[in-house]
Amino acid sequence: MAEDSQVNKNSVEAARRKNAKGKGSDLLVFPTKEMPHSILLIFKRYKYAKWADSRRALLAEPVKGRASGGQIELEGSIGIQLPFPKQLVDSNDIRIATFERNMLIEGALALPGVENFLRGQGGSGDSLLSMAKDAGAGIFNAAKGLGDYVSGTSGSDALNDLAQTFGRIGGIDARDGSSALAYLLRSQMGNIPGLGGTAVSTLNAALGQVVNPRETLTFEGVGLKNHSFEWELFPSSKTDSEMIKKIIHTVKRNTLPSTEEFVGIPRVLLNFPSTVDMYLLGVDQSHFMKFKTCMVSSVSVNYSAGGITTIAKGGVPAAVSLSMNFSELDIETADDWPDGLLPPEVVSDAQTSEEGSTD
């Protein structure tokens, strides 16, 4: 084992040795024996006073406040090194929702110049407005004709106008006038006076058909990643038991908010708890998940690990189960995984293996 003078003083190993000698508490390690693989949790506590003062100054005197440049300051940090949790799962919350596609809107989007117009890329504005005007006039005529149809005066005009409107908007086939009318009733004419909520159902029953809802999916965003870890901690010595106690106290102290008084009233304000950075030690990181800075959303300590409360010598728990849930502060995107392809050497080896198996 290398001498202390040969170990980088900023490394995890240096912090481990410093802690083992009782000369520091910046790193808590369980178990105290060497571990080939472990996870490191670094709790960081911040001061927001200067930042808050600068915001107040900015409101009172904008120029002076802007010049003061108050920043959020790192107040302190402490690391906890534990064995790998019982489960190490990487999951993403990708938000997908269903919606019903609209034939009229899809047809309108197919008109010349619409896509460029919506994307801010110019295009033929005159032709776009002309098309939109024609489509709008057609829909108005169809609605007017439909009103007449409901009143029993001009059913054929309603269907003809409707077919012409569908023809104007993206070339939608409306030769089946009854189906087109059912679609228009269902998706466009819900606010026509005199039509109740059962009108479409009644029409569907009379025609013996319903409009295809054409449901599809849409992407709505990405949720913040959550991690759920659990450790079973079994002390093998008095030192281990003391270390478990220190770890639990440190976790509680950094995941719960501290309090401040306000105008002489105690415990009115709650300060933000610490954030957490996590690292996997002793592994090839490229084969595992990546962690962003997190906050702890829940902590659970079970002093009856294994299903029964057992007290060891000295009145300490014989086993402790520690469970923690983390929520990342920033979403994960494809930019966090710049290379989604297999390395060339892996592809080459796989092709060589396949060629060999066919011989």
The predicted structure's pLDDT at residue 99 = 83
Taking CA atoms, 36 is separated from 1, 92, 119, 234, 241, in Å, by 15, 28, 54, 18, 21
Reference 215, options 100, 97, 96, 102; nearest CA is: 100
In this prediction, residues 41-68 reach a mean pLDDT of: 64
Q: What is the rounded CA–CA span in Å between residue 83 and residue 320?
A: 14
Within its chain, how far is the Cα of 166 from the centroid?
40
Q: What is the pLDDT of residues 255-265, one digit of tens each?
A: 999 998 888 88
In this prediction, residues 108-133 reach a mean pLDDT of: 57
Q: What is the rounded CA–CA span in Å between residue 286 and residue 337?
A: 10
Q: What is the rounded CA–CA span in Å between residue 112 and residue 118?
A: 12
DSSP 8-state assignment for residue 113: T
Q: How many Cα neighbours within 13 Å face the side chain of 55?
A: 7
Confidence at 26, pLDDT banded by 50, 70, 90: confident
In this prediction, residues 164-188 reach a mean pLDDT of: 50
In degrees, to the nearest 5, what angle opens at C-alpha 120 toward C-alphas 115 and 126?
70
Q: What is the pLDDT of residues 190-223, one digit of tens each?
A: 445 555 556 666 666 766 767 677 788 999 999 9
Query: Among 180-184, 187-191, 309-313, 343-347, which is the least confidently predicted range?
Result: 187-191
User: Is pLDDT above 90 for 249?
Assistant: yes
Question: DSSP 3-state assignment of 225?
Answer: coil
The predicted structure's pLDDT at residue 227 = 96
> Do 278 and 39 contact (CB within 8 A), yes or no?
yes
Confidence at 84, pLDDT banded by 50, 70, 90: very high
Q: What pTM does this model have?
A: 0.65
